Structure 1
Amino acid sequence: MALSITTKSTTPFDGQKPGTSGLRKAVKVFQQENYTENFVQCILDSAQAEGHTLVVGGDGRFYCPEVVDIIIKMAAANGVKGLIVGQHGIFSTPCLSGIVRERGVCGGILLTASHNPGGPDADFGIKYNCSNGGPAPDQVTNAMYDLSCKITEYRICPDIQCDINTTGTYHYEIEKYGQFTVEVVDSVDAYVKLMKDIFDFPAIADFLKDFPVLMDGLNGVTGPYIERIFLSEFQVPEDNVRNSKPLPDFGGLHPDPNLTYAKALVDTVTANHKYKLGAAFDGDGDRNMILGQKGLFVTPCDSVAIIADNSDCIPYFSKHGGVKGLARSMPTSCAIDLVAAARKVEMFEVPTGWKYFGNLMDAGRLSICGEESFGTGSDHIREKDGIWAALAWLSILAQRRCSVEELLVKHWSTYGRNFFTRYDYENCDSEQCNQMIEELRGQLDDASGSLKGRSFENGGKTYTVAKADDFSYIDPIDGSVATKQGVRLIMTDGSRIIYRLSGTGSSGATVRLYVESYEKFEAGSEDKYLQDCQVVLKPLLGIALEVAKLPQFTGRNAPTVIT
């Protein structure tokens, strides 16, 4: 007997506009009657999912199983042919991207708020990825938002019961549409197979026999993945993997792999000198932090540059004709630009948001890219990939037979060092922060009160503004335009100050301040390479705070997070 479809009346909710990483709100917002159902209906309609297959999974945070159940019931009622669902409702973001591409399906629905906290009083998110495995472009997310503003009903099949905890294929007969299939698959198998196609697992396993590492899943989605890869495939001791059980509240941890929120890992690697590399991953598995022995921090900017410069150590690239192009997000330091110039490959500077990389990858013009926000990846999928980044580092170290510090110093000796830091001011007053950005825009090159040509002195150093603008981008593939992507002050010596309002939080405003200064050292002064970024950048940071009046507008004397 066919299961019946119910059409339910509803009314729009304000603010269901997806950002660069989907719709993120507090859990309690998503738990409002019809709130989640409204947004899922808008996804299914804008994606034109009828007659197609979708992949569904999330990072295991609070409210994930309930939303997976809602999606199953609504997909059936909207004529979706079938769903591929991660066991227990879990998929890492890079794994889902890979499965969408491998299976050639319509797209995927991700349930994650990424690096934001989890739990009943924390955050939830829903994101749609297209058939290339990457985040939906603006035209799709704009269509979702337009539909959300005028939605009057949604369709659901309330009698479907599906055991997402047990792998297998489940068939249902749905009135009007016929057969609907839910395939519950192991959340890890496909990803491990993909990594084995990219890296030389036996070589890494052999290297790790004498190179102790510490992998920290921060109780996010990567736990089962790093257990399978490091414990089963590489046979490292069990205590080399920690916080590997995905928990709805991440065990009280903030699943953001940076020096502030992954401090326990930093402290352990710093205090216990036996660990030669440490790595942490965020809630949904797309971000990473790399540490060397004694807690040496590798900035994400340097990380992607070093991976790009040593790509010959990764079998995937030789199998695919080498590196075609490199890219970074605009706020990311220019370290990778130097590698691109040396290797004579295309270099792209794009707005923040992985979807901008996807177009370049689909066109065959981009192989390796990264964002300063701890995102690193390649064209093997269309998302950033935390575990991939850690395996890339281990592949390079295994072939070069050196330590993290030795690899860093060699790189800086060749290219110089882009000292870089980011200050985050989280949950600030939105009105005040918007006013700050507008006042900065009033001083740009095309404004009457231009900053161009002005000099600023702090800490005995003087910087002169060569260019002041609000970054915009014309996509070289589809011609789409992105404007107001961040206020930039570019100094005559190449140093940069950048101000942005982030769209990845669920409440208030987050101001991000980025400061970068390039230094080229002479031979014999290698010790200068290892200087603390905060010390080197202190004068420029002082100028950055002064120019924007950042403490006054945020009401903060110090940032929430420094990276």
Structure 2
Amino acid sequence: MIETCRTQPFSGQRPGTSGLRKPVKTFMQPHYLENFVQSVFDCVEDLAGATLVLGGDGRYHNREAIQTILRMAAGNRVSRVLLGRGGLLSTPAVSSIIRHRGATGGLILSASHNPGGPNGDFGIKYNSGNGGPATETLTEAIYTRSQEIDRYYIATTNHVDIDVLGDTHLEAMKITVLDPVADYSELMESLFDFERIRELFRSGFRMRFDAMHAVTGPYAHAILEDVLGAPEGTVIHGTPLADFGGGHPDPNLTHAAELVRQLNRPEGPDFGAASDGDGDRNMIIGHGCFVTPSDSLAIMAANATRIPAYREGLLGVARSMPTSRAVDRVAARLNIPCYETPTGWKFFGNLLDAGRITLCGEESFGTGSNHVREKDGLWAVLFWLNLLAVRGQSVAEIVAEHWQAYGRDVYTRHDYEDVDADAASRLMQDLRENLPGLVGQTVGGSHVTAADDFAYDDPIDGSRSEGQGLRLMLGDEARIVYRLSGTGTQGATLRVYIERLETRRSHLQADAQTQLADLIRFAGEVAGIAERTGRQSPDVIT
């Protein structure tokens, strides 16, 4: 039986760059999730009779939300739902299933790298038929609908068994419970030389993959240990937990500290990697060698033809604006296009769909290719494993050779988390107004040659995105960028990105914080970060 439930709008249901993210307690309010899901359903064309993909990262409230969404899908005449067993699907796996099974779209339940548990965060986003995040036009339509909604449709059935593989029905809707790993593993094997990676592990190569008690645990156990033959224990924290084991599922030097310690020990593994809550981010570490996401993208682009899926070369590459310009230098050498986009994977989608690019990435630990329309953490790890197997060198040796060939974009990101939102907005507004007066100033021997508020004109659909980050350009190929992140749910996160090109071989291995000290100091002073936020130092440095 289908019921029509009356409701009233909730304020603030505007999706951000990665959907709607709020504290769990907000989503647990009566009608809150239902309102947003119905707003999505009201805005998706040809929903009746459609096939949707559904899954999440296993965080707190995931299973309960899936029951609600299944009942609502039936209430809105969806024909079929493809569901990950236990409600689990990584974000790149959802993208892959949408694309390869011809689904109309999919709903992903995740707040990505945000903390979980009853006092943590929850999130939901809609991915369209290309497998990528909904366009800004669609997300704005969803928000508009959420502010006027007065009813939603839901089946009265109380419970669906989501833990048994196979088909079942809810009203007239078929629910197919899938192995969450199978389709994705098959796709990975089509892209990489799995036999070469098996040989690498048989040679005694040692690796640690930190799944951070998030969704990539089952994927990593199945692919790395079962398929590729990595020794048992290669995957740590591999069981998804609703609160991520009390940790912060963000693969960076701060939140994956245990992995970093293991790789820095004299007897430590040869290679380390980590992924986040929903499996779309990655961190790459060699023995005593952290690879910045910007360098990782550049190295992957420079070595792509060594990987089976990319042997014919790259159509082009793209990076988010705050990502270092390391990949630009590779693109110039390869004579292929390099696009600079705003932060947010949806901006890469048009370029990928139009065949303009093959690889893309963000400094926020996200890398991907045209195999899906999301960043893909485990794919990036497998790329590096394939590269290590082919080149027969350590991570540190590969990085060092790359810097010698292209120079090193010495790079750091300073995050000031949970800053008062009003204070952060005033800081950005005042800095924006002061940009013209900064041109011509000198810092540490470097001249500010240009300053702007980054805007992007999409070369595919002609849309324009403004206010994407404040940039200070310095004469010796250095930059300072300021952005407010849209991924948090409490206060604001101010991100400051600092980079400078280094080509002197004697300085290539120097500590980034030391090399950039003058620019770091100037970045804080010119924006008045300490005075305006009360923070004397960043919460996270990468």
TM-score bracket for the superposition, by shorter chain length: over 0.9
The residue that corresponds to 1:366 in the other structure is 357
Q: Does 1:219 align with 2:217?
A: no
Q: Does 1:340 align with 2:334?
A: no
Q: Does 1:191 align with 2:170?
A: no
The residue that corresponds to 2:31 in the other structure is 34
Is the 8 Å Cα contact of residues 213 and 278 (structure 1) preserved in structure 2? yes
3-state SS of 1:505 partner: coil
What is the count of residue pairs matched by the alignment?
Answer: 540
Partner residue of 2:75 out of 70, 74, 77: 77
Partner residue of 1:299 out of 285, 292, 306: 292
Q: Detail structure 1 runs of 4+ shifted over 3 Å in the superposition.
A: none
3-state SS of 1:530 partner: coil
3-state SS of 1:444 partner: helix
Q: Does 1:108 align with 2:106?
A: yes
| Pairwise CA distance, 1:161 | 3.1
Structure 1: 5+ residue runs without aligned partners?
174-178
The residue that corresponds to 1:529 in the other structure is 508
Instruction: State the distance in 1 between where 2:504 and 2:438 align.
Output: 30
The residue that corresponds to 2:267 in the other structure is 273
Partner residue of 1:546 out of 499, 502, 525: 525
Q: Deviations over 1:352-395 (max 9, x none)?
A: 00000010000001100110000011010000001011111111
| Pairwise CA distance, 1:444 | 2.4
3-state SS of 2:508 partner: helix
The amino acid across from 1:199 in the alignment is F
| Pairwise CA distance, 1:160 | 5.4
Instruction: State the distance in 1 between where 2:504 and 2:404 align.
Output: 7
Partner residue of 1:230 out of 224, 230, 234: 224
Q: Deviations over 1:203-224 (max 9, x none)?
A: 1110122211111100000000
The residue that corresponds to 1:455 in the other structure is 442
The amino acid across from 1:14 in the alignment is S
Q: Deviations over 1:48-103 (max 9, x none)?
A: 32221100000000000001001100000011111000000000000010000001
Q: What is the percent sequence identity of the aligned residues? A: 50
| Pairwise CA distance, 1:273 | 2.7
Instruction: State the distance in 2 between where 1:545 and 1:463 align.
Output: 16
3-state SS of 1:239 partner: coil
The residue that corresponds to 1:249 in the other structure is 243
Q: Deviations over 1:259-317 (max 9, x none)?
A: 000001101111253411000110100001111113x1100000000000000121011
Instruction: State the distance in 2 between where 1:514 and 1:367 align.
Output: 25
Q: Does 1:488 align with 2:471?
A: yes
Partner residue of 2:16 out of 19, 30, 43: 19
3-state SS of 1:278 partner: strand
Is the 8 Å Cα contact of residues 214 and 275 (structure 1) preserved in structure 2? yes
Instruction: State the distance in 2 between where 1:41 and 1:373 align.
Output: 31
The residue that corresponds to 1:176 in the other structure is none
Instruction: State the distance in 1 between where 2:522 and 2:159 align.
Output: 60
The residue that corresponds to 1:95 in the other structure is 93
Instruction: State the distance in 2 between where 1:147 and 1:34 align.
Output: 15
Partner residue of 1:425 out of 413, 416, 437: 416
The residue that corresponds to 1:468 in the other structure is 451
Instruction: State the distance in 1 between where 2:72 and 2:37 align.
Output: 8
Q: Does 1:500 align with 2:483?
A: yes
Instruction: State the distance in 2 between where 1:367 and 1:357 align.
Output: 10
| Pairwise CA distance, 1:172 | 3.6
Instruction: State the distance in 2 between where 1:328 and 1:385 align.
Output: 15
Instruction: State the distance in 2 between where 1:339 and 1:551 align.
Output: 37
The residue that corresponds to 1:207 in the other structure is 200
Is the 8 Å Cα contact of residues 288 and 376 (structure 1) preserved in structure 2? yes
Is the 8 Å Cα contact of residues 273 and 293 (structure 1) preserved in structure 2? no
When the two structures are superposed, what TM-score results if normalisation uses the length of structure 2? 0.98
